[in-house]
């Protein structure tokens, strides 16, 4: 199984997200790997669960694509929430969210897409076999995110 380096932070998440994705999120803190390294969501007009999912997707894309050499980059990265806990510690509230993450190497994914486009609808194309091979080529892992909740409008 592939391993990915944890991202480092100097409380510059907001700037990193703005530069990488041209998106403004009112966040601070760290990348959310643990409670101590939680991502602070300071305020939002967007539903909280949606902001958390957006940020988790961005973290996954940075870890698995933007910081990787071209030949080992992942694409088709998808996250689905599988567990959520709201935790209060002293006066602070946290969301501890676990996602199932799936992804495929970019070059492998491109080959599957091209094969599908070229062969779909032809008699010699086994669609079931194609999707079986795609599933086998897909990386699946669980990732946890800690979000520190401040003011949600």
Which pLDDT band, with edges at 50, 70 and 90, does 9 fall under? confident
Residue with tokens 């403004």: 24
Whole-number pLDDT of residue 150: 85
For 10-21, what is the mean pLDDT?
90
Q: With pLDDT > 90 as the criterion, what percentage of the chain qualifies?
A: 86
pLDDT at 151: 65
Domain positions in the chain: 13-104+140-149
In this predicted model, what pLDDT tens digit does every residue of 71-101 receive, in sequence order?
A: 999 999 999 999 999 999 989 999 999 999 9
Q: Mean pLDDT over residues 14-26, rounded?
A: 94
By DSSP bridging, strand 27-29 and strand 92-105 are: unpaired
11 falls in which pLDDT band (50, 70, 90)?
confident
pLDDT of residue 152: 57
Q: Per-residue pLDDT averaged across 53-63, rounded?
A: 96
What band does 3 get if pLDDT is binned at 50, 70 and 90? confident
- Indicate if the pLDDT at residue 107 is higher than 70: yes
Confidence of residue 153 (pLDDT cuts 50, 70, 90): very low
């Amino acid at each position: 199984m592939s391993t990915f380096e944890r991202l480092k932070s100097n409380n510059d998440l907001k700037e990193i997200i703005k530069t990488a994705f041209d998106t403004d999120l009112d966040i601070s803190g760290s990348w959310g790997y643990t409670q101590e390294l939680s991502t602070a969501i300071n305020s939002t007009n967007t539903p909280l669960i949606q902001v958390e999912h957006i940020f988790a997707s961005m973290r996954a894309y940075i870890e698995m694509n933007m910081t990787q050499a071209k030949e080992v980059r992942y694409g088709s990265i998808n996250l689905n929430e599988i567990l959520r806990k709201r935790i209060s510690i002293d006066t602070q509230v946290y969301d501890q969210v676990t996602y199932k993450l799936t992804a495929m190497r970019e070059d492998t994914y491109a080959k599957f897409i091209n094969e599908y486009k070229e062969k779909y609808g032809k008699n010699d194309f086994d669609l079931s076999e194609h999707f079986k091979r795609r599933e086998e080529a897909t990386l699946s892992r669980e990732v946890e995110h800690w979000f520190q909740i401040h003011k949600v409008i």
